[in-house]
Structure 1
Amino acid sequence: MKVQPRNADGFCRNPTAGIVAVLVYGPDTGLVRERGQALSRAIVSDLQDPFRVSDLKAEQISGDGARLNDEMAAIAMTGGRRLVRVRDADESVTVAFQALLKQPPSGDTLCVVEAGDLGKSSKLRALFESDDKAAAIACYVEEEGELAVTIGRILGEHKLTIDTDARDWLAANLVGDRAVARGEVDKLAIYMMGASRVTLEDVRTVIGDSAALDMDEPALAAADGDIASIDRALGRLFAEGTSPVPILRSAQRHFQRLQMAVYHTTRGQTAQQAVKALRPPVFFKMENQMTNQVRRWNLPNLALALDRLMDAEADCKRTNMPDETLCARAFFQVAQLARRSGG
């Protein structure tokens, strides 16, 4: 069965009875991990319990479906439901799960499978979506509006309210990876302990120098025409396991904001005034850099840059070329446009 996005978090807290295996997949690796954890803890509170939890790697079952079946059939010596976790799954485990779902062993063990971005042609995804003993949960990158709601909910769990401008600034700067966002918001909640309301000043104090803003670096470098900095920033993000899609979306947001600011300069505002007027506000340490970018770019070249970035995101989803290559190529093309704009 296919779990609808609006039902995903509720399903993770309370999986439907009769489900043998759940596939959690998508480009937002942080959200995949978070939902995989939530599903797992719904079955076993202590995920280090060796009697009730079995961790398998994809390669352990890709050539040996019997291993998966044996783990699913095992009985916990201490009682209670058992959990089998499969990390970094890919198409190679499809046959093992076809055998499992065709004739699942008796008992109430649940298998939680975590995977990366699986396209519509994925056989593994199709299997979990079509079988009534399995479930598939997609984890796509949250839009800013969705993340803003999530931020409000997480802070509410800490008995905190947040001002609208502070929430929107957080959402704009943390969008792309749910795990990073949750970590930063939890850090903010600890900083605010004893208070009841979070302001924009509080947010900038706590999050301003955070590694969570690293996602902005390739976009800023591209808008400056700085190819060497693009290469370093992308290399670091890819090494950390960040998916190219949220990186491209972060860049699209930056260039859309540049487009808005440049438009306002054509209506009489100075570059500095146009940047100051953007909402959510630009992080103060980036204001000078973005002001210079507004002076560099024009509207026709910004439209071309956005086309390159959106085409790259679409190609990541529909072609067989390596996503990281497609992403890097788009950023280098945008940097060339920046050099032409500044030339």
Structure 2
Amino acid sequence: MIIKSFELNKKKLDNYKYFLFYGENEGYKEESLISITKNKKNINHYLENEILDNEDKFLESLISRSFFDNEKIIVIKKASEKIFKIIEEIIKRKIEDISIVILAGELTKKSKLRSLFEKENSLICSAFYSDNYQSLSFIVNDFLKDKKILLSREITNLLIERCNGSRLHLKNELIKIENFAFNKNKITYEDIHKLTNLSDNYHMSELVDNCLAKNRGKLMKIINENNFSNEEVVSILRIFLYKSKRLYALKKQCDDKNIESVISGFKPPIFWKDKEIIKQQLNTWTLKKIRFLLIEINKTEVLIKKNFALSIQILLDFIFTQADIINN
């Protein structure tokens, strides 16, 4: 049964035992997981590959439970289509006092796992799509109102822009702001820049912007001046994805409007310091090439996950390729 993600907290779900949360919004999935498992004690977390490596042992652990065991909640993270047969088997066996929450990435309409959970009324299936300006703005405003913290619209827009679509990053920065705001009457832009990770994120964001604008000189200077780690590579790719999607949305509006009006009217609002480089990007890219870029970003992410030790070199190859082919 399909339930929209924002409706999960509004419905009584105590009688449901099987949940599938899929999609790219990891932060929102984690929030919903916490919501449906609150006040539960016997929670067991597994990665999909841990189960697949020893299916028989996993099934046996569900069946042979102690008489004194309370209800057990199984959380399966980083799940994919590979887990389908095991989940189907568990559901058929109707094992008592077991609830399962599956956290998966994106699943296509052809997915057997997704289809099973969508069609069966006894199962819950929810899709978690990327946050947009509206949802992130609501998170910020709700938090600030609850904590009685005043921030200017400029700072709020900057926080939303720099979190690159991740509510997890946004909430981490808001917690820092809450701690900083204790016994402080006013918070300035400079305070926020020093307090949060915006300074580190700025170098990553600047790297992506100059690659998309094909500013080769600035691009090489940023690369030479920053010693990015393997762990930061994934963050840089996410920034690439976020900014490329935004570029695609902007470019689609440029058909019947001039660039200046498109940028000025875009939501979420584009920070004034970023407007000039975005103009360069819009003048450089076509819709067809942006679509190709989005495909290449996903391919690069998969390649990095398979070869994490080589992630920096893979990223640099990707960056240099994009900077060179834009006008081809």
Same fold (TM over 0.5): yes
Conservation of the 8 A alpha-carbon contact between 2:244 and 2:294: no
* Structure 1 CA distance for aligned equivalents of residues 174 and 230 of structure 2: 23
Does 1:134 pair with 2:123? yes
The residue type paired with residue 246 of structure 2 is: R
Report the alpha carbon displacement of residue 158 of structure 1 after superposing the two structures with TM.
2.6
* Structure 2 CA distance for aligned equivalents of residues 251 and 100 of structure 1: 41
User: In 2 relative to 1, CA 176–294 (structure 1 residues): closer, same or farther, beyond 3 Å?
Assistant: closer
Report the alpha carbon displacement of residue 216 of structure 1 after superposing the two structures with TM.
1.8
* Structure 1 CA distance for aligned equivalents of residues 38 and 176 of structure 2: 22
Secondary structure class of the residue paired with 1:112: strand
* Structure 1 CA distance for aligned equivalents of residues 32 and 185 of structure 2: 28
* Structure 2 CA distance for aligned equivalents of residues 185 and 309 of structure 1: 32
* Structure 2 CA distance for aligned equivalents of residues 123 and 228 of structure 1: 48
> Deviations for 1:102-127, whole angstroms, at most 9, x for unmatched residues?
232122x3222222222222222222
* Structure 2 CA distance for aligned equivalents of residues 239 and 72 of structure 1: 42
User: In 2 relative to 1, CA 21–332 (structure 1 residues): closer, same or farther, beyond 3 Å?
Assistant: farther
Secondary structure class of the residue paired with 2:94: coil
* Structure 1 CA distance for aligned equivalents of residues 236 and 4 of structure 2: 22
Report the alpha carbon displacement of residue 330 of structure 1 after superposing the two structures with TM.
7.5
Report the alpha carbon displacement of residue 142 of structure 1 after superposing the two structures with TM.
0.7
Does 1:67 pair with 2:58? yes
* Structure 2 CA distance for aligned equivalents of residues 128 and 214 of structure 1: 42
> Deviations for 1:273-301, whole angstroms, at most 9, x for unmatched residues?
x9xxx954356xxx7xx75x479x38542
Does 1:21 pair with 2:18? yes
- What is the aligned length? 303
Q: Which range moved further: 325-334 or 242-251?
A: 325-334
> Deviations for 1:201-239, whole angstroms, at most 9, x for unmatched residues?
543342364445565244224122337968999984675
Aligned match of 2:82 in 82, 88, 92?
92
Secondary structure class of the residue paired with 2:140: helix
Aligned match of 1:336 in 305, 324, 327?
324
Name the TM-score, length of structure 1 as normaliser. 0.68
Report the alpha carbon displacement of residue 332 of structure 1 after superposing the two structures with TM.
4.8
User: In 2 relative to 1, CA 66–186 (structure 1 residues): closer, same or farther, beyond 3 Å?
Assistant: same
User: In 2 relative to 1, CA 80–215 (structure 1 residues): closer, same or farther, beyond 3 Å?
Assistant: farther
* Structure 2 CA distance for aligned equivalents of residues 211 and 218 of structure 1: 11
Instruction: Report what 2:167 is aligned to.
Output: 178
RMSD over equivalenced CA pairs, Å: 4.4
User: In 2 relative to 1, CA 105–185 (structure 1 residues): closer, same or farther, beyond 3 Å?
Assistant: same
User: In 2 relative to 1, CA 229–239 (structure 1 residues): closer, same or farther, beyond 3 Å?
Assistant: same
The residue type paired with residue 247 of structure 1 is: F
* Structure 2 CA distance for aligned equivalents of residues 157 and 127 of structure 1: 40
Instruction: Report what 1:268 is aligned to.
Output: none
* Structure 1 CA distance for aligned equivalents of residues 93 and 223 of structure 2: 50
> 5+ residue gaps in structure 1?
45-51, 266-273
> Deviations for 1:33-58, whole angstroms, at most 9, x for unmatched residues?
343334333533xxxxxxx2222232
Aligned match of 1:102 in 92, 96, 103?
92
Aligned match of 1:168 in 152, 157, 160?
157
Instruction: Report what 1:249 is aligned to.
Output: 242
The residue type paired with residue 119 of structure 1 is: T
User: In 2 relative to 1, CA 151–294 (structure 1 residues): closer, same or farther, beyond 3 Å?
Assistant: closer
Conservation of the 8 A alpha-carbon contact between 1:152 and 1:162: no
> 5+ residue gaps in structure 2?
305-313
* Structure 1 CA distance for aligned equivalents of residues 240 and 153 of structure 2: 25
Does 1:143 pair with 2:139? no
Conservation of the 8 A alpha-carbon contact between 1:53 and 1:84: yes
Name the TM-score, length of structure 2 as normaliser. 0.71
> Among the aligned pairs, what percent are the same residue?
16
Instruction: Report what 1:269 is aligned to.
Output: none
Report the alpha carbon displacement of residue 337 of structure 1 after superposing the two structures with TM.
5.7
Aligned match of 1:43 in 29, 40, 45?
40
* Structure 1 CA distance for aligned equivalents of residues 60 and 119 of structure 2: 20
Conservation of the 8 A alpha-carbon contact between 1:58 and 1:89: yes
Report the alpha carbon displacement of residue 29 of structure 1 after superposing the two structures with TM.
2.9
* Structure 1 CA distance for aligned equivalents of residues 60 and 167 of structure 2: 32
Instruction: Report what 1:309 is aligned to.
Output: 290
Report the alpha carbon displacement of residue 245 of structure 1 after superposing the two structures with TM.
6.3
